[in-house]
A and B are shown apart, each in its own frame.
Chain A
Amino acid sequence: MQRLPNRLEKLLAALEDLDRNDRIEMLVDVARRFKCVPESIAVRPFPKERRVPGCESEAYVWAESRPDGTLTYHFAVENPQGISAMALAAFLGDSLSGVPLSEVVAVPADVVYRIFGRELSMGKSLGLMGMVNMVRAAAKQQLQCCAQKVDRK
């Protein structure tokens, strides 16, 4: 089984020790830490190509290059009631920004079940998995860009 990035694995381990109510409380606290994408990266109206397909909370994802070649991930969640999307955005931003791209690409989309539990509705889980997939796609694209640069040298 592919090892998950350290920070993500630690957060998941902390969640898995909790019962349902405590896990929800922790995720609500995570959601409250969510910060919308800075204006230096994007301003409203956000472009459609950044919108997560199938996410009812109207989530958007951006990736910003870092000097070491990794990415910082930014999010917007336009539905003020989209608290699960906000929690996931904060969770992914904290645990995957600055992580080697190959590790981000290898994060499985169904990690959302480890975060939120198996009780997620199918619609909700597919929307949240769409957020993970957008992050993975950004990392994959960056990885391919880096590979092309190396090839040209």
Chain B
Amino acid sequence: MSKRIDERGYSTADVLVSTDWLQEHLKDPGIRVAESNEDPLLYGADHIPGAVEIDWTRDLNDPVRRDYLDKPEFERLMGRIGATRDTTIVLYGDKNNWWATYAFWVLQLFGHTQAKIMDGGRLKWLNENRPLTREVPKYHATDYKAPQRDEKKFRAFREQVFKHVERKLSLVDVRSPEEFRGERLHMPDYPNEGALRGGHIPGALSIPWGRAVNQEDGTFKDAAELRKTYVEENRLQPGDDVIAYCRIGERSSHTWFVLTYLLGFSKVRNYDGSWTEWGNLVGVPIENPSAEGRHAAAA
């Protein structure tokens, strides 16, 4: 069983809330609970009473360009869910909170720091037989005013990744070991999402996102266990300039969250272009141990 959140040694423990805490605060007017999933039907099937849906494709992404929503779209989204700059957004979702941390990351691009993640996500709430509803809540729309999207601190683009590779700075590949080694182009049991080349960005460390999660209940591991994985085993330091990536930026937003808020790393960026960009770019350097092994065997 997981320790209480405030006993786990996190650098910013109050960014996580427990299922108990959330159930006690469901009627708190300063809180807006938001569910964010990969499966578009899950919220409609049932959700936490009072929770709104933030759909990662419809609400967070531009429908045409590969990019996130802009300032007016973000203001519309936050206005629609009845949030103000002071509202605390508590996010949860499927897939061990991949999409919840992704939404959390987008909130940070617009400076909405009043945000939390419900530890364990949707599955923990369900497994604890807590209340669920199909009723979609209605909130009075607000006139939310956001600052311009500021990506410098939390988002990395490919040119910055190039420089990172050249300068031999820390890159964390959070995909499965098979993807990292270039043996497959997608997660186990997932389809290929169109990357033409396998492998990883040169110099990247392989630290699959799931190493941050307790398998039995989907909660985050405590700080000592996280430090063992990221700091002791992989030699990352809290002051390092780190870029995390995966396939499209959702799993790496999970690791970005862990490093930034649970371990207190001061400079972590999410490369949301990730492998679906890097694995398709012409002429970029790639390390592919499985292909190198095949070449050596053939020679």
Q: How far is the CA of A117 from the CA of B39 in the complex (A)?
A: 12
Asked if A81 and B193 make an inter-chain contact with CB atoms under 8 angstroms apart, the answer reads no
Q: How far is the CA of A31 from the CA of B44 in the complex (A)?
A: 11
Contact with A along B127-142 (1 / 0, CB 8 A): 0000000101000000
Asked if B173 CB lies within 8 Å of chain A CBs, one says no
Categorize the interface residue count of chain A: 20 to 34
Asked if A25 and B39 make an inter-chain contact with CB atoms under 8 angstroms apart, the answer reads no
Residue of B nearest to A117 (CB): B40
Q: Which residues 74-96 of A sit at the B interface, judged by CB distance below 8 A?
A: 81-84, 87
Asked if B189 and A54 make an inter-chain contact with CB atoms under 8 angstroms apart, the answer reads yes
Q: Is the interface of B mostly helix, strand, loop or mixed?
A: loop
Contact with A along B179-199 (1 / 0, CB 8 A): 000000011011111100000
Q: Interface with B: A60-68, A123-131, A136-144, which one? A: A123-131
Asked if A124 and B39 make an inter-chain contact with CB atoms under 8 angstroms apart, the answer reads yes
Residue of B nearest to A24 (CB): B44
Contact with A along B211-239 (1 / 0, CB 8 A): 00000000000000000000000000000
Asked if B194 and A27 make an inter-chain contact with CB atoms under 8 angstroms apart, the answer reads no
Asked if B45 and A83 make an inter-chain contact with CB atoms under 8 angstroms apart, the answer reads yes
Asked if B57 and A56 make an inter-chain contact with CB atoms under 8 angstroms apart, the answer reads no
Asked if A55 and B189 make an inter-chain contact with CB atoms under 8 angstroms apart, the answer reads yes
- Taking CB atoms, residues of chain A closer than 8 Å to B194 are 122
Q: How far is the CA of A35 from the CA of B277 in the complex (A)?
A: 40
> Which of A58, A120, A122, A124 is close to B189, meaning CB atoms less than 8 Å apart?
A58
Asked if B35 CB lies within 8 Å of chain A CBs, one says no
- Distance from A141 Cβ to chain B, minimum over Cβ atoms (Å): 22
Asked if B45 and A127 make an inter-chain contact with CB atoms under 8 angstroms apart, the answer reads no
- Taking CB atoms, residues of chain A closer than 8 Å to B191 are 53-54, 122-123, 126-127, 130
Asked if B42 and A121 make an inter-chain contact with CB atoms under 8 angstroms apart, the answer reads no
Asked if A21 CB lies within 8 Å of chain B CBs, one says yes
Q: How far is the CA of A54 from the CA of B45 in the complex (A)?
A: 23
- Distance from A149 Cβ to chain B, minimum over Cβ atoms (Å): 35
Asked if B45 and A28 make an inter-chain contact with CB atoms under 8 angstroms apart, the answer reads yes
Number of interface residues of B (CB under 8 A): 25
Q: How far is the CA of A46 from the CA of B56 in the complex (A)?
A: 33
Asked if A24 and B41 make an inter-chain contact with CB atoms under 8 angstroms apart, the answer reads yes
Asked if A116 CB lies within 8 Å of chain B CBs, one says yes
Contact with A along B23-58 (1 / 0, CB 8 A): 000000000000000111111110000000001111
> Which of B41, B44, B55, B193 is close to A126, meaning CB atoms less than 8 Å apart?
B193
Asked if B41 and A27 make an inter-chain contact with CB atoms under 8 angstroms apart, the answer reads yes
- Taking CB atoms, residues of chain B closer than 8 Å to A84 are 39-41
- Distance from A78 Cβ to chain B, minimum over Cβ atoms (Å): 11
Asked if B44 and A27 make an inter-chain contact with CB atoms under 8 angstroms apart, the answer reads yes
- Taking CB atoms, residues of chain B closer than 8 Å to A20 are 58
Asked if A123 and B44 make an inter-chain contact with CB atoms under 8 angstroms apart, the answer reads no
Asked if A119 CB lies within 8 Å of chain B CBs, one says yes
Q: How far is the CA of A13 from the CA of B71 in the complex (A)?
A: 36
14 further A-B pairs in the complex, CB-CB below 8 A; given A31-B45, A58-B189, A81-B42: A21-B44, A24-B44, A28-B45, A53-B191, A56-B189, A81-B94, A81-B123, A82-B39, A83-B45, A119-B55, A122-B193, A126-B191, A126-B192, A130-B191
Give the interface of A toward B (CB within 8 A): 20-21, 24-25, 27-28, 31, 53-56, 58, 81-84, 87, 116-117, 119-124, 126-127, 130
Residue contacts A-B, CB under 8 angstroms, 21 given: A24-B44, A28-B44, A28-B134, A31-B41, A54-B186, A54-B190, A56-B190, A82-B39, A83-B42, A117-B40, A119-B40, A119-B57, A121-B56, A123-B38, A123-B193, A124-B38, A124-B40, A126-B191, A126-B192, A126-B193, A127-B191
